[in-house]
Amino acid sequence: MSVVVTTKGKVTIPKPIRDLLGIVPGSRVDFRRAADGTIVLTRVDKRPDATRFARLRGHAGAGLTTDAIMALMRGATLS
């Protein structure tokens, strides 16, 4: 993914990257230079991963059965 730098040096982080890193308005990020010269973007204020219950809050997902929902709530993984 490529983005355009504004005259003020600003860029918009693409949504798939924001979603992957959990970046929301107000998040703090860090740019670091890796040994190979690439730049790495990391979120520095990362909150702990959501509990299995918090991940289900608001929706049960598309097409999940009651048994699948109960398995998720008990910590089982679906394959």
Q: Are residues 36 and 53 in the same domain?
A: no
Distance CA 50, CA 22 (A): 11
The model's pLDDT over 15-48, given as tens digits with 9 standing for 90+, comes to: 999 998 888 898 999 999 999 999 999 988 866 6
The answer to whether residue 38 sits within a structural domain is yes
Q: Are residues 15 and 39 in the same domain?
A: yes
Residue 12 has what pLDDT? 94
Residue 30 has what pLDDT? 92
What is the span of the domain harbouring residue 60? 49-79
pTM of the model: 0.52
Higher-confidence residue of 58 and 17: namely 17
Q: Residue 44 to residues 5, 7, 17, 33, 52: CA-CA distances in angstroms?
A: 22, 26, 15, 15, 23
Per cent of the chain over pLDDT 70 is: 73
Residue 40, strand partner residues: 32
Q: Are residues 40 and 64 in the same domain?
A: no
Residue 60 has what pLDDT? 54
Residue 33, strand partner residues: 39
